[in-house]
Amino acid sequence: MMDVAIAGIGELPQGRLEGLTPMMLHERLARLALADAGLTLADVDAILTLSPRADPYLMHATALAEYLRIRPPIAFTMEVGGAAPAAMVDHARMLVQTGAARTVLVVAADMPLSVVSRNAYVQTLAEVGPVHPDLERPFGPSVPSMFGMVARRYMHCYGATDEDLAAVALHDRRAAASHPNAHFRAPLDLAQYRASRWIAEPLRLLDCSPVSDGGGAVVVTSLKRARDCARAPVKVLGAGFAMGHMHLSAAQSLTTFQAGAALDRALAMAGATREDIDVALVYDCFSIALLINVEDLGFAPKGEAGRAFRDGHFARDGRLPVNTHGGLLSHGYPGRAASFGNLVEAVVQVRGEARDRQVDDARIALVHGMGGLFATHGVLLVGKP
């Protein structure tokens, strides 16, 4: 089957975006990605979106197409949570390979900070599914408290401490310092981390990703056509998916989940191994999520990711650079579109355009996304053609 590539990307600064509506934000990201590829809206014959909570259209992709004044034959709104980048790009790959589309515009954005209040957004997260309406929600847990429960279990099982959690927050902030679009770039040290207030013990404020406006867009087309576009193409190598539960009360474990199974499937499609991965962009809505996901992906033994972060193994010049853009914890968390920062950073790294963040000779990048409370996982592998 024909090779498929990402030909263009679009991203704006994450944070509070004044003067925009959700549709305006989607349009800006779409136009940025198309301009990056040297294409126009007239070239788009398929559009894929997520339904943003700040602008919940029933058929969001169709509404966006109307807003953009285009009529692509395919306009699909997908529901895949934080696993969106892998799912949306893989779906775009199949559309191109089957001939159903030639140019697929993938856009994901949300404005939970400017359009929906932070507290209302966090409350909505609990109401729409991650917290079981009958078995969990009546007892009062929020999404942060559920992650706090996972963190407490992890600490009990492996002897982890707040230094392990802090290592993640400090790692991401150091990486975000050189990213112009990151929500938080100010220096952060252990004392500041420990001074931040409790959110759901043992998780502090700086263990939690910020509520941000933002998102990203990519253009997917055939590799052959992408070679004639404005920027160096980044090949879609493989994608893999896995799920273990919907609600945490149904999970078989509170410390081991399905990210590794998703990566195994992506590697099989790509014909690659873990040793081939040069940079990993891993979902980290909370610090505990990065510790567990990095371990489940097979990059550190169980219970040892915190030490690996402290020792610099996952720094830009370490054995496997992780979250070179600052992750969700510092780059930003724009709701359902949160993991699109991971996707955009992967493309930038493979292109060799990350400047001070650039990983030497980055040929293959991993993009990991997670939906719900470790419920679903999507892994995308992209690389040099």
- Tell me whether strands 234-243 and 4-10 are parallel, antiparallel or unpaired: antiparallel
Q: Count CB-CB contacts under 10 A for residue 253.
A: 13
User: Does residue 116 carry a pLDDT above 80?
Assistant: no
Q: What is the pLDDT of residue 127?
A: 58
pLDDT for the residue 53: 85
Q: Quick check: is 36 in a domain?
A: yes
- Tell me: pLDDT of 277 over 70: yes
DSSP 9-52: EE----B--TT--HHHHHHHHHHHHHHHHT--GGG--EEEEE--
Mean per-residue pLDDT over the chain, rounded: 95
What is the reported pLDDT for 128?
58
Per DSSP, the residues of 56-86 read --TTHHHHHHHHHT---SEEEEE--GGGHHH
- Is 60 within a domain? yes
Residue 97 included in any domain: yes
Mean pLDDT of 122-148: 75
Closest CA to 294 of 274, 272, 271, 270: 274
- Is there a domain that residue 88 lies in? yes
What span, in angstroms and rounded, lies between the C-alpha atoms of 41 and 70? 7
Mean pLDDT to the nearest integer, 98-119? 89
- Using pLDDT thresholds of 50, 70 and 90, give the confidence band for residue 121: low
- 120 in any annotated domain: no
- Confirm whether 95 is domain-assigned: yes
Residue 131: pLDDT over 80: no
Q: At residue 385, does pLDDT exceed 80?
A: yes
Q: Residue 74 domain-assigned?
A: yes
Strand pairing report for 234-243 and 376-383: antiparallel
Residue 135 is predicted with a pLDDT of: 74
16-31: per-residue pLDDT in tens?
999 999 999 999 999 9
* Between residues 135 and 244, the one the model is more confident about: 244
pLDDT number for residue 134: 76
CATH number for the domain spanning 69: value is 3.40.47.10
Q: Count structural domains, the chain.
A: 1
State the Cα–Cα distance between residues 49 and 327, nearest whole angstrom: 22
Catalytic residue positions?
Answer: 283, 333
Q: Is residue 242 part of a domain?
A: no
Task: Tell me the pTM.
Answer: 0.95
Dist CA 197 CA 138 (whole Å): 26
- Counting residues of the chain whose pLDDT is more than 90, the rounded percentage is 87
Looking at residue 7, its amino acid is A
User: For the packed helices 287-296 and 162-176, what is the interaxial angle rounded to 10 degrees?
Assistant: 90
Q: Write down the residue that tokens 């492996």 correspond to.
A: 158
What's the domain range around 35?
Answer: 4-115+215-226
- pLDDT higher than threshold 60 for residue 126: no
Question: Which residue, chain included where needed, has tokens 């990213």?
Answer: 179
pLDDT at 350: 98
| pLDDT of res. 133 | 75
